[in-house]
Amino acid sequence: MSELKSSMTDSVMDALGDVKDPEIASVSILDLGMVHEVDVTDDRVRISVLPTFSGCPALHIIERDIKKAIENVEGITSAEVKFVFTPSWTTDRITPEGRERLKEFGISPPPANHVMGEPWEIDCPYCGSTYVTMENIFGPTACRSILYCKSCKNPFEAMKPVADMG
């Protein structure tokens, strides 16, 4: 990779770090592990993105925001965004920073190595207590559940674990 191309890719990645999940303001699409491949060729960028949940209404907004952010990078004139399903987005793609930022937003991050069908543990994002109850496995968006912390008496949300089913 030439130095110029590499610095251009860095600028594009920086720009992607500013594209937030429209429904979780503190977390970027990089934090969530949604970005699969970024290809910079001259002044054009092609990026493939892994959708989190297939019916997520935020996908169109994310696509628009990515295009806008990348086309603002100096030296880039066009950006093409493609949603792909291989590899599948799974919750173990969320970065350690992403997990911290989810907590700041009041959302407990999913377990890193979940196996579908097995039980999983959820800690309160505010006080860290394990003394919690699940009110609803479904929540305000497709990817979240609703819980209550019996220790600090706060309601909170958790991201549903999603793992490959083989």
Nearer to other proteins by Cβ, of 54 and 129: the residue is: 54
* Single residue of 1, 3, 25, 55 touching other proteins by CB under 8 A: 55
Query: In angstroms, what is the minimal distance from the CB of 103 to other proteins?
Result: 22
Which tokens belong to 48? 């493939």
Q: Does 54 bind other proteins (CB under 8 A)?
A: yes
Residues belonging to the chain: 166
Nearer to other proteins by Cβ, of 7 and 88: the residue is: 88
> Three-class SS of residue 9?
helix
Query: In angstroms, what is the minimal distance from the CB of 93 to other proteins?
Result: 13
What span, in angstroms and rounded, lies between the C-alpha atoms of 109 and 136?
16
Size of the site for other proteins (CB under 8 A): 26
Q: Output the CA torsion sign for 104, 58, 81, 160.
A: positive
**Is the distance from CB of 47 to CB of 62 less than 8 angstroms?**
no
Q: Does 61 bind other proteins (CB under 8 A)?
A: no
Q: Give the contacts of 65 (CB within 8 A, at least 6 positions apart).
A: 19, 20, 22
Binding site for other proteins (CB under 8 A): 51, 53-57, 85-86, 88, 90, 116-117, 135-142, 146, 160, 162-165
